[in-house]
Amino acid sequence: MKNILTPLALLACLGFITACEKAEDPFVPREVAPALVQIVNATYQTDFATEPNVPSDSTAPLALKIRVLKLDKTNILDHTKGIDSIPVPNLNVKLLKRDGTALGEGTTDASGTLTLTKTWAELGLVPNYANPPLKYYKGQIIRLSWTGAVNGVAFTRFSSVSVR
């Protein structure tokens, strides 16, 4: 009986040692976002959501507006000061549809804001109905992405536009 337990104990120890081997991380390595991108005119309290939606009227051109902020965390441990949001001026930002179609690009101003004005036709909307007096775009959603780079670190911010 002792002859059988010794090899089994060695086999169990070997199993524990090999089970503790470091496995390769299956996830994509991520970096902390270099900037905070606020989608202006988004539905109430969703401007910082995962994918904020901007409801717009189909009878007027669409003003897509963002504000880019860099977070200064030097006073993070001082509760009287906290984290400061600093606008990022002169930042080149591209607006794309999710399929990669470029819709435009621009540069943020001194307050970190960028506004791009587009028509619904430029966004590729197709009417739902044949009667033009109706709001024939109603209910359609266009998914967008804003891309740029702050201090050499690229970022992408998702948003969407819907017709009300």
Tell me which amino acid residue 9 is. A
Span of 13-22, 52-61, 110-119, 140-149 with lowest mean pLDDT: 13-22
**pLDDT exceeding 90 applies to what percent of the chain?**
39
DSSP state of 23: P
